[in-house]
Structure 1
Amino acid sequence: MLGRSLLHLLIVALQLGSALAAPAATTPTIRLDSATFQGTSDGTTNKFLGIPFAKPPTGDLRFRLPVSNDPYTGTPVATSYGPACPQQEFKLPLPDGVVTDAIDFLVNKVYNVITPSSEDCLTLNVVTPTGVAAGSKLPVVVWIFGGGFEIGGTNIYDGGVIVKRSIQLGEPVVYVSMNYRVSAFGFLAGQQVKDAGVGNLGLQDQRQALRWIQKYIAAFGGDPTKVTIWGESAGAISVALHMLANGGNTEGLFRGGFMQSGSPIPVGDITHGQKYYDDIVTRTKCSGASDTLQCLRQVPYNTLKAAVDDSPGLFAPQSLSLAWLPRADGVFLRDAPQSLVSQGSVANIPFVTGDCDDEGTLFALSSLNVTTSAQVANYFSTYFVPTASSADIDNIMKLYPSDITKGSPFDTGIFNAITPQFKRIAAILGDLVFQAPRRFFLEQRSGKQNTWVFRKWFSFASAATKTSSEMDFYHTIVSKKLKIVPILGSLHGSDILNVYGPGDMTDYLINFVNNLDPNGKTGISWPKYTTASPQILTFSDDLFNPLAISTDTYRKDAMSFVTTLSLANPI
């Protein structure tokens, strides 16, 4: 759920200086309420950045539902992104070497440099084609960034890429992205949170931004009846959860969903996070307060931030068994997400969903000290399925054998085995949290609504299937930029480059936003998914065969079992 590929972060960092230096061609304006917002333009797109969509969640509004802004006044300057919401610091319990150095540099150095943060962070950004007038009724695509519900911001992603490509295709769109509270600031858990009705605040922030779009997007030339929500990783999970919220009633806020590496996840009640709440209460010295939640609202920001930073993060040993993530709170999510799917509490809208082939490799780096089969069994029974029987754990071990040629990165033979159990753990993590929930969601909705499914495959992961010239090209272009990519295969987040590149996925996205069907003038025909014909579109890095149709039946028995297990053992 990291929410962006490490390669993407590096490319952004290298290009940041030139991007910031690009001059504005004009000074576009937009009228909202009694205010005239001043944006920026490059001659093809207009951008209005850092527009507040809710009151700052500071002071007594900390750990409360988002509150609508007062009507806008004055002449606000909207030419720079607003700060991201408070980011959780990563602590990396990994051995020294290129993997540790790369992640530490990219996440804790590069990422923090390009993503300034503040508790006053609820802003959004709108990108439009230049010259589009109010009332033009263009379809709207709303980007929800990922980051494991712990980090993330909007300024990493250039919505202008999407809008420019939409203009080239003759299918112009309006692009919107929003910040939302992450980590404990947005996903505090525990009985106290449930009793106060303030769970899943990050999702509530997103919902508030969607309401803002309904009120104001027509002024930018967008059509509030043609909104598609789109996200990657935590952002894709968010899209799925918006589809499950409110009994599946979208409230007219969106008409389609596009999900990259995220589905209704195997989580349970919000009280499952009680130990993390209690830990923060202790660290902030709120234990003696009669109302610990109100005490947390009043502690100094730096004190609270330090306590949050000490909670388990994405690269803690427990990895994807996250401390802070959406859970059933009785308000936004009335039940566990996968239970809601089983109950049919799903918005009846078209959607696209898919995963990268090696979703688990990045997160398996947290368990490099797990090197025996017994330790693997203990690892999963401790962090992911604590009430599973020994027979269930034994079955996982059989379905995901220790044979390194069967693990992830898949189809890489004996290569990429950082430890004797790394590829095995990566395979289980990728299926448990990403691949199996996606397939479960699709199977449950087959025949009920239009769906399309994709797979991102890292075709250069195995030297055995490539010519020497192809591998030379790959190592020159990719490997020298970030050495860990070949080790991790089609890692989580690598599909972002397929859409923000722009790439083939960009066109499919734009088609879907316009027509609720990803097929259009470019690419190969993408068939709908059904259980009777589970066809899947594969995006790859193969220069000669980048798009292909296959069937979504791989690891069928293994995924079916981990789905059954996760339904009985939600995190």
Structure 2
Amino acid sequence: MESGGSIAANPMNATGDQASYDSIVTKVGCSNATDTLQCLRDTPFETLNSVLNGTDGNPQYSFWPVVDGDIIRDWGSMQLGNGEFVKVPIISGTNTDEGTAFGPTGINTTQQFYEYLTDGSAGIKLPASAAKRILELYPDDPSQGIPAFLGNKRVPSQGYQWRRTSAYAGDATMHANRRKQCETWAGASIPAYCYRFNVHSADVPYLVGATHFEEVSFVFNNINGTGYHYGKPFAGTPPSYAELSKLMTSMWASFIHDLDPNSGVRNFTNKWTSYAQNKPVDFVFDANVTSHMEPDTWRKEGIDYINSIAKAYWR
């Protein structure tokens, strides 16, 4: 599970989905069909694809998981808490700087950050007490923000507190969900191989760091960047990038075949060990230093709090 998993980062209700569905049905000419869903299934790929995807490759519609009492019986956080999940080994991970893709820009003051948390612009309205606690756990200290390689620097062009809000947004959107999933699997004594991808690809601006989606080309060994719209992720990179991709591809293939990411890996001594309650760890995939295990305890207090109020996020 890459950049997502059992707990959705969005409210799991159907608001707006029906209108989007109806729009698609109309555009492909299925409005008068007795069974519109079957009509969509029968629609030629080229026709449906042209409706779902814009000319720039970005999707025109977004459909999030919805609690329907059937396929999805409850919020992900609730089902994990109740032990209601398929108990099989998993790979689960996120990228170091997820928040640069999901966080707000233009926030310069703590008051503006508070309003972002409570006015619904973040996708959810947090209670005042929760928002105030978030402000405490994610202080206005650039050195605690992301990307970490910027040290104490601020980025005024993105917002005086951009690094602060990006750290929070990455945790709220991706990291907290991933960590809760790994903790739950460990609590049930089921192998969970968790990771943190820590590579800046060539197809994204330097400032965004190891941001969302950038691990995908590495996992699939897509050295040529086939299908990428915004540049080539390996263009001009040192040999260590291709070597890391080979390692990741080997580990994913090994897991698929043996449920163990280490089984088919050769000439690499650092083993990827599974999560444990008394030893929470993730594997850091890096092209600048040797990939290695680390304690999965970074920003622990903030992430623990986000997970403790999962229902406030409609998760």
Question: What is the TM-score when the length of structure 1 is the normalising length?
Answer: 0.42
- CA pair 506-390 structure 1, distance change in 2 beyond 3 A: same
How many correspondences in the alignment?
270
Q: Write the mapping of 1:150-169 to structure 2, written as runs, cut at 5 A.
A: none
Q: Is 1:370–2:107 an aligned residue pair?
A: yes
Aligned letter for 1:422?
W
1:500 to 198, 217, 220: 220
Q: Deviations over 1:222-273 (max 9, x none)?
A: xxxxxxxxxxxxxxxxxxxxxxxxxxxxxxxxxxxxx222222246775x33
1:279 shift after superposition: 7.6
Which residue, out of 422, 427, 433, partners 2:162? 422
For 2:246, give the aligned amino acid: G
Q: Does 1:442 align with 2:188?
A: no
RCO higher in structure (CA 8 A, sep ≥6)? 2
Partner of 1:273: 14
For 1:488 and 1:349, locate their aligned partners in 2 and report how far apart those are by CA, in whole Å: 34
The amino acid across from 2:210 in the alignment is S
- 1:348 equivalenced with 2:87 (yes/no): yes
The residue aligned with 1:410 is 148
Q: How does 1:482-561 map to 2 (within 5 A)?
A: 482=203, 484-501=204-221, 502-520=245-263, 521-522=265-266, 523=268, 524-542=270-288, 545-561=289-305
Mapping of residues 69-468 of structure 1, within 5 Å: 259-266=1-8, 272-275=13-16, 277-278=18-19, 305=51, 324-364=63-103, 367-381=104-118, 382-384=120-122, 386-415=124-153, 417=155, 418-448=158-188, 449-458=190-199
Distance 2:140 2:186 in 1: 34
How has the CA–CA distance of structure 1 residues 447 and 397 changed in structure 2, closer, same or farther, with 3 Å as cutoff?
Answer: closer
How far off its partner does 1:568 sit?
2.7
Cα distance, 1:298 vs structure 2: 9.1
Q: 1:384 to 1:265 in 2, by over 3 A?
A: farther
Cα distance, 1:489 vs structure 2:
0.7
Q: Which structure has greater strand proportion?
A: 1
**SS of corresponding position for 1:550:** strand
Amino acid at match of 1:552: D
Quote the Cα distance in structure 2 between the aligned partners of 1:551 and 1:267: 24
Stretches (4+) displaced over 3 A: 266-270, 275-285, 293-299, 383-387
In structure 1, what residue type is equivalent to 2:252? Answer: L
Describe the superposition over 1:260-319 as per-residue Cα deviations: whole angstroms up to 9, x where unpaired.
Answer: 22222246775x33245358769999xxxxx9x9789999x89x959x98xxx999xxxx
**Deviation string for 1:42-71 (max 9, x for gaps)?**
xxxxxxxxxxxxxxxxxxxxxxxxxxxxxx
Counterpart-to-counterpart distance in 2, 1:280 and 1:380: 30
User: Within the alignment, does 1:564 sit opposite 2:308 as a pair?
Assistant: yes
Aligned in 2, Cα 1:269/1:376: closer, same or farther, shift over 3 Å?
A: closer
Q: Go from structure 1 to structure 2 and tell me whether the alpha carbon gap of 1:516 and 1:370 turns closer, same or farther (over 3 Å shift).
A: same
With normalisation by structure 2, the TM-score equals: 0.73
- Aligned-partner residue type, residue 191 of structure 2: N
**Cα 1:344–1:414, aligned 2, differ >3 Å: closer, same or farther?**
same
TM-aligned CA deviation for residue 430 of structure 1: 1.0
Contact preservation (8 Å) 1:357, 1:410: no
Q: 1:552 to 1:305 in 2, by over 3 A?
A: same
CA positional deviation for 1:373: 2.1
Which residue of structure 1 aligns with residue 236 of structure 2? none
8 Å contact kept, 2:9–2:172: no
Write the distance in 1 (CA, Å) between the matches of 2:23 and 2:283: 49
Structure with greater Cα Rg? 1
Once the two structures are superposed, what CA deviation does each residue of 1:302-344 show, in whole Å capped at 9, x if it has no partner?
A: 9x959x98xxx999xxxxxx96211212221111122111111
Letter aligned with residue 15 of structure 2: Q
